[in-house]
Amino acid sequence: MIGSFALVVLDMAGTTVRDDGAVDEAFTAALTSAGVAPGSPRFDAARVYVRDTMGQSKSDVFAALLGPEEAGQATEDFAGAYERIVAEGRVAPIDGALEVFRTLRAHGVGVCLTTGFAPRTRDALLAALGWGGEIDLALSPADCGRGRPEPDMIFGAMKGLGVADAGAVAVVGDTVSDLEAGTRAGARAVVGVLSGAHDRATLQSAPHTDLIDDVTQLMGVLTRS
């Protein structure tokens, strides 16, 4: 194992998967379908909330913005819009992410990918990237209970991969919610990456052990932790 770590839990969009505005585009499509007109004060306020809560369960985000019926439909519309983006070939790995997975697993470290996407969206993304055989586990909030910033997906990864001690876990993500979840789980390393939704100042304000430019710098963190 690397630095006595047994498990690394990594976010997907923005951390291991290049976002390039795909999540934002899908949110815009879903809000528009729900009758929230682009350019309206309500839309602008919703966009601020969406950016602030990046990394959280998409159903939770829509539930906070819309009525129950609208929220359910918007969640479905988000999934459909993002899956169309995936089908169009508009998603790609963060450069070097696959090599990080392979290095971790070669050293006996489990790799779990987590996301605020619904399982069907997550699985469509994994299939498009060809990552099914490159990781040990992938989890969404629906698999474990609550989404980020709660630690449920991290605990689910630990249970699923037989890791009992949070002191052997590293959590990696590009949002405040990722870092809060890792901290609440008691992970030994809570690593923010600057390749996604939240900038350095925002991540610096959240609980963390390390900040790195992108996931390719993760091995250096793990070997010295």
Half-sphere exposure of 98 (CA within 13 A, CB side): 11
How does the average pLDDT of the chain come out, rounded? 92
CA–CA dist 71, 67 (Å, integer): 6
For a pLDDT cut of 90, what percent of the chain falls above it? 57
Query: pLDDT at position 197, please?
Result: 80
Band (pLDDT 50/70/90 cuts) for residue 185 is: very high
The pTM (predicted TM-score) of the whole model is: 0.89
Residue 223 has pLDDT above 70, yes or no: yes
Res 163: pLDDT: 97
- Indicate the burial class of 223 (C-beta count within 10 angstroms; 0-12, 13-18, 19 or more): exposed
Contact 74, 34 (CB under 8 A): yes
Q: pLDDT per residue over 49-87, tens digit each?
A: 888 887 788 888 888 888 888 888 888 898 898 889 889
pLDDT score for 1: 66
| pLDDT attached to residue 3 | 76
The pLDDT tens digits of the residues spanning 155-172 come to 999 999 999 999 999 999
pLDDT above 70 for 118: yes
